[in-house]
Amino acid sequence: MASSHLLCNHSLFFSSAFKNCGFSNTPPSKLQFQRTPFVKASKKQLEIVYDPDERLNKLADEVDKEAPFSRLTLFSPCKINVFLRITNKREDGYHDLASLFHTISLGDVIKFSLSPSKTKDRLSTNVSGVPLDDKNLIIKALNLYRKKTGSSNFFWVHLDKKVPTGAGLGGGSSNAATALWAANQFNGSVATEKELQQWSSEIGSDIPFFFSHGAAYCTGRGEFVQDISHPLPSDIPMVLIKPKEACSTAEVYKRLRLDQTSNVDPLTLLEKISRNGISQDVCINDLESPAFEVLPSLKRLKQRVTAAGRGQYDAVFMSGSGSTIVGVGSPDPPQFVYDDDDYREVFLSGKLQVV
């Protein structure tokens, strides 16, 4: 989510989404923080009640005075893989891929505030189950930024999570890119976006993509990012359906057999999409078969979406390593996800677009 092409004339992908989805650099209202102790009066005495947050509030005041701005609220979009070819297994244990990544209008909102602390970031979120320590890519990204630049800034961060986890949508990777970009803004943009992009690959293969313009042909482990002109019209609608169960990426790759993957040249797929737009035959994902072994119900879901949406969707495919099924070409989910009790707990998001 880190590209200044969208935000305040910077050239980072997520900036364009940011411009429409909530960038703020206004200092917090002084009315939000009570800087004085609470006073309680009685007939015989005036009691001063100690406010344990008062010292912290005074430190926050000093931070506000020194900083060019004290808050950033940023949109962190997720992505889909329009096609995903796995081309080779490397000696280091990773796989080479060739994929068309594209951001879409579903995303998280992350609020960053400078912290008076000089030793620790503080992360909160609106959903349970999300790690709040250095297992979270946001904290990893902030640690990485300080390591690379020597910055002494620490942050209060609140993650308003909309993108499901274990979905193949790159929500955590986008959050990390957003955190790197935000930290750099607070630090006077001492690093270039190219540097941020290169650094980001140290903590996640998908993160460099989120420093693109929003559509990119990604190779290597995903860290080699080639911006391309948006191959899909911005008004093309889509639907995401994710079952409650997640797919373990490690388990999916463990079951991958290269001799059973597609043999179509990914550059041919890219050229065909660029020329003719999206269609079922170009939306190849080599991770579908192993993901369907890990989660057989996911195969059934794709089959049902394809059958129910015959003529409704231009293409139905799995994103990333799962477990989200994407239907492109209609904003409306198939009726069975509302009627069938088996799908009562699915994550469902319609009326989405590419961004």
- Identity of residue 101: F
Taking alpha carbons only, the member of 285, 280, 293 closest to residue 97 is 285
| Element housing 240 (H / E) | strand 237-242
Is 79 among the catalytic positions?
A: yes
Q: Identify whether the C-beta of residue 12 lies closer than 8 Å to the C-beta of residue 194.
A: no
Burial 308-324 (b: 16+ CB within 10 A, else e): bbeebbbbbbbbbbbbb
* Contact partners, residue 116, CB within 8 Å, separation at least 6: 56, 59, 60, 62, 63
- Return the number of other C-beta atoms located less than 10 Å from residue 160's C-beta: 17
Taking alpha carbons only, the member of 205, 149, 159 closest to residue 180 is 149
Q: Single out the catalytic residue among 79, 111, 148, 242.
A: 79
Q: Single out the catalytic residue among 64, 108, 121, 206.
A: 206
Residue with tokens 């902030």: 142
96 has which bridge partners? Answer: 88
Rounded distance between C-alpha atoms, residue 185 and residue 140, angstroms: 17
Angle (nearest 5°) at CA 247 between 234 and 231: 20
Q: Taking the C-alpha atoms of 174, 18, 105 and 175 in order, what is their torsion angle to the nearest 10 degrees?
A: 10
The two tokens of residue 229 are 């002109």
Is 272 among the catalytic positions?
A: no
What positions carry a catalytic annotation? 79, 206
